[in-house]
Every structure is written in structure tokens, then in C-alpha cells.
Amino acid sequence: MLAVMLIAAGPVLLGAPTAIPHLAWVGLFVLMLVAMMGALWSGEDPRSPGWRTGLLLGIAVLASWGLVLGARGAGLVAILLVITVAVSPYLVPIRVGWALIVLNLAVLLGALAPRSGEPGWLVEISIMLGFYLLIQAASLLSSVALLREQRARRELTEAHVDLQAAAVLLADSARTSERLRISRDLHDLIGHQLTVLALELEAAKHRMPGGDGAAADTGEAGDPAAPRGDGAAPHIERAAGVARELLSSVRATVGELRNDGGELRETLQRVVQDLTEPRVVLEVDDALRLDEDRTVLLVRAVQEIVTNTIRHARAGELRIEVRRTRDGVVLCARDDGWGSRGTVLGNGLLGLRERFEGFGGSAVFMGGGAGSGPGAGSAPGAEPSPGAEPTPGAGSTPAGSSARAVEPAGTAGFRGFGVTARLPVPERSPG
């Protein structure tokens, strides 16, 4: 856009005659350039109020009118009018763009009015107005189509993340069902048989001569060929010990099969794979395994964080960390988007917080934005000051859990949305 503006204004900037002082014309051009860039910047920043964006666009439009009217003959300068129309869908509703086309044509007619005495001026003005009507309408519709295409791409990416999460949960559910079936078979068949074996061996010990499992010194009286018990007793004792150990191992294996939710890194990686915008950097502690319910919770959390970033953050990179601590598991995420002045939780984030609180954990959300970057009091990684009020809508932390937010590694300078969620993980009981 900057290059097109310079090309359109180039002849006048290089000294072509103008209807107003040349320095004033150059000043108007600089004003339009600054106002246009400011409007685009303000429109990209969700923290910026809408009136500021509209005001800057209005200044740019008025400056473009002054430039066209101040040039002797519209020439290439009229392209500046097309630029204001082309950028308007990014900043204001489309109806404003159509109104701007009509006003631009009126300004262009005023710029061409001095030629009214020339031969053929009516045909020339009609052609000029028709041409700029078409090019402005085409520019407006092209911008609208591009915006719709971008919105459709975001929606497709969100749907892809949702589909990936559903596929991951379905696959994990199938594996969990299979593990439960195997664990039941182990418990019902092998475990039962080992229990019977252990009982039979225990009964055999008590049926040994002496009644208490101790080996007898001799066989039956008067029968030197009778079997002696002192040789069989140690073997029966060892067999009983092996049976008890096998039974304990089977019970431990059954417990692991029931509790093991698979490797978390692989599960979460499948949710974010194939995403290109934003680029997701996922770091999970090696061999971190959780039960099925907590795995589902973290999958849903990553899904919500990613879709929230796609929908609102306008971020290029999202970093997510999941690591084990002494108290359980901590999930922290941060994007490099714009952030917001205040964190207003929608249904998705509220549901996410409620899920963590349902497990006795907590979730803290940081909006980033001005005054909330790394090192500021409300940024992830900073401990809230004593007596400080919580950020409106950011949620509370259950008693007994830390409210401290955490920055993922490699996010220095990130000022976008941040999440820190803590999930207690109970110790697994053996067997």
C-alpha cells in the first residue's frame, strides 16, 4: 500500500504543479500517510477503541480529498481515493465503504470541474467517473472477499483442531476400553487361578506330617519305604511364595492398565499437528502419564487454548508447556498476539476453569496488553502483590492452591493471552 501511495503521489512530490502551495500538498500527503498507517495499526489492535480507528480513517479520507482537489487535474493522485476504499472493510462496516465510494466520486467530479470548458470534457469526465466507480467497487469487494476468506480459514482451522481433539479422545477411549478388557481378563482368569493355586499350596503345607507345615523326620512307623516330608516342604513353601508374588504382580498390572492413560506428549501432539497459523510449540515432560479423566481434561484445555488463540489473538506463535511438579501437573500457555486490556471470560474459558476446579485445581488467565507484559504485576510469572484485587473475570484460585501464573520457556517479549492451570495428581496406589 505504501508503494502504491508513493507512486500515485510521485509526480506531485517531484514538483508537478498544484492548485495549493506545494509544501501544503506534501504536508497533506504526510498526514494521510500517517493517519492511514495509524488506522491500520489501531484496527489490528483489539485493545484500541473503535472510535480511534474511525477517527484516523476519517483524517486519512479528508486528507486524500484535499490531495485530489489540490492537484491540477486528478491524474494518478485519484488512486489515493481507491486506497481509502480498499482499506475501509478492515476498519469499518462495509456500508461505510459504499458511502465512501459515492463521496469519492463527488470529490473527483469537483477536481475535474475546471475542465468543463474544454472540448469533449463531458465524455472525459464520464469515462473517468465510470472507471473510478468500477475500480473502487472492485477494490472494496476484493477486500471483503479477502476478509471472508481469512475468516473461513480461521473457522476451518478451528474445526480442524476440534476434529483432531475428538479423534484423539476417541482413539484414547478405544485404547482405554481395550486395556480395561485385558485388565478384567487378567483379574478374572489368571488372578483367580493364582489365588486357587496359592490356597492349594497353603492347604498342602498344613497337610504335611506334623500338621503345621513342618517337615517330618521319618515316614510311617515300620515302613522304611514311606515318603519323607522333609524334602517336599521347602518346595511347597517356595511354590507358595512364587504364587503370592505372581498374584501381586497381576494385581499391580491390572491397576496400571486401569490407570494408565498413555503418554501425554503423543496425545497432545496429535491435537496440534498440521497447524501452521499460529505455529504451536508444545513441550511436555518426558514419559508424563495421567489417568484417562485427567488426560481428557488436558486435551480439552489445549483444544480451547488453541481455538481461542486462532479466534481472538491474531498470534503468529503459541507456546504450551505441560510439566510435572511436586503438587501435580502445571499447564501454561502464552501467545505473541495483541492481548487485551481486560480479560473477559467466555463460555469456553469459564468451562475450562470449572473443569480444573472440579479436580481440585485452578486456572488463571492473563490478557496481556499494555502494562501486562512480562515483568508487570499481572503478567504470567509474577506473584500477585499482597492484598491486590484479582483481575475482573480472570477467576479465583481455590484455597490451598497457588495463584502464581507461570511463563512458558521462550516467551520473553510475548504480550498476548496467557493461561496457567494447575492440576493435582493423586499418588497411585499399587495393586
What whole-number distance in Å separates Cα of residue 274 and Cα of residue 161? 9
Same domain, 268 and 411: yes
- Total count of domains within the chain: 3
Grid coordinates of 194 = 493364582
Same domain, 250 and 340: no
Q: CB of 308 within 8 A of CB of 403?
A: no
- Whether residue 250 lies inside any domain: the answer is yes
> Does residue 431 register a pLDDT over 70?
no
Q: Which of 40-49, 377-386, 420-429 has the lowest mean pLDDT?
A: 377-386
Same domain, 246 and 282: no
How high is the pLDDT of residue 30? 94
- Averaged over 81-104, what is the pLDDT? 94
- Whether residue 165 lies inside any domain: the answer is no
Beta strands in 223-380 (DSSP E): 279-284, 317-324, 328-335, 362-366
Same domain, 180 and 268: no
Nearby residues of 314 by Cβ (< 8 Å), 6 or more positions away: 44, 46, 337, 338
- Among the candidates 50, 83, 117, a domain finishes at 117
Give residue 400's Cα distance to chain centre.
28
- Whether residue 162 lies inside any domain: the answer is no
Same domain, 245 and 297: no
Q: What percent of the chain has pLDDT over 90?
A: 23
- Among the candidates 117, 148, 168, a domain finishes at 117
- Whether residue 38 lies inside any domain: the answer is yes
- Among the candidates 94, 117, 140, a domain finishes at 117
Q: Residue 230: how many CA atoms within 13 Å on its side-chain side?
A: 4
Same domain, 6 and 101: yes
Helix (H, G, I), strand (E, B) or coil at 109: helix
Q: CB of 248 within 8 A of CB of 228?
A: no
- Whether residue 223 lies inside any domain: the answer is no
Same domain, 254 and 272: no
> Does residue 286 register a pLDDT over 90?
no
Give residue 128's Cα distance to chain centre.
49
- Averaged over 62-78, what is the pLDDT? 85
pLDDT band at residue 143 using 50, 70 and 90 as cut-offs: very high
Predicted model pTM: 0.64
- Whether residue 133 lies inside any domain: the answer is no
Q: Which residue has the higher pLDDT, 247 or 396?
A: 247
Range of the domain at 373: 262-424
Give residue 88's Cα distance to chain centre.
29
Same domain, 281 and 419: yes
Same domain, 253 and 351: no
Q: Give the closest residue to 232 by CA, choosing from 197, 204, 198, 210.
A: 204
What whole-number distance in Å separates Cα of residue 199 and Cα of residue 193? 10
Cell 479520507, residue located: 61
The amino acid present at 24, given as its one-letter code, is A
How high is the pLDDT of residue 222? 44
Same domain, 192 and 289: no
Q: Which of 185-189, 324-328, 344-348, 420-424 has the lowest mean pLDDT?
A: 185-189
What whole-number distance in Å separates Cα of residue 262 and Cα of residue 74? 70
How high is the pLDDT of residue 191? 67
Kindly state the DSSP code that residue 77 receives in the 8-state scheme. Answer: G
Same domain, 87 and 180: no
- Whether residue 139 lies inside any domain: the answer is no
- Whether residue 286 lies inside any domain: the answer is yes
Same domain, 276 and 380: yes
Q: Give the closest residue to 362 by CA, choosing from 414, 401, 413.
A: 401
